[in-house]
Amino acid sequence: MSQAEDESATIRKFIIAGVLLTIGTVIVFSLAMFMGTFDTSTREAREAFERQQLERRLQSVGAVRVDEDAADVSLEAEEDPEAAVAAAEEAEDVDVDTDVAEEDEADDVQRGEDVYAAVCMACHDAGLMDALRLDDEDGWVELMDERGGLDELVENAITGIGGMPARGGDSDLSDEEVRAAVVYMLEEAGLDVADD
């Protein structure tokens, strides 16, 4: 064979390899897109969580109390210190019901299962970025021993560790909600967690 024929054969091989790689990439990409249409639970959980966060942000911050027990507020207090003291004493006599505020606060705390579905499931269901899978009981036991228990695992989840961002990437989660999610994952993995 001559040198020109060798070069021509080499070029043909590169072209054929390029075409085959392109076809293979298109097939793999199409299969991935097709398979991704079956599991919508992660997307639906994320949308529900974002909707809940938006509703929480839109809630009223305060309320105007309109009844006979409401304390009068006057601008005279700036000019008359004795009037300011009298208004403060009158305000202390007003019976304020704090149970309603505490109930509202308790309602805002998400359950561990909900936090997991909205934030943690994306990585821990599939084991993405070396995240422990939810069903890996031996892995969770080993991690608990390595980190020194539940409190240290919760602290790692709050501050972030390795590829996991702080609070799983949702800065709106409270420490209590993060703890509830960690406890939920440990219990789902089969560990008996005594959370006080």
Contact call for residues 71 and 91 (beta carbons, < 8 A): yes
Q: Is 182 exposed, middle or buried (0-12, 13-18, 19+ CB in 10 A)?
A: buried
Q: Which CATH number applies to 110-188: 1.10.760.10, 2.40.70.10, 1.10.287.130, 1.10.490.10?
A: 1.10.760.10
The pLDDT value given to residue 94? 47
The pLDDT value given to residue 153? 84
The pLDDT value given to residue 76? 47
The pLDDT value given to residue 87? 61
The pLDDT value given to residue 77? 44
Domain ranges of the chain: 1-30, 60-96, 110-188
- Stretches where the chain sits below pLDDT 70 are 1, 36-40, 60-107, 195-196
pTM score, whole prediction: 0.47
Tell me the three state secondary structure of residue 26: helix
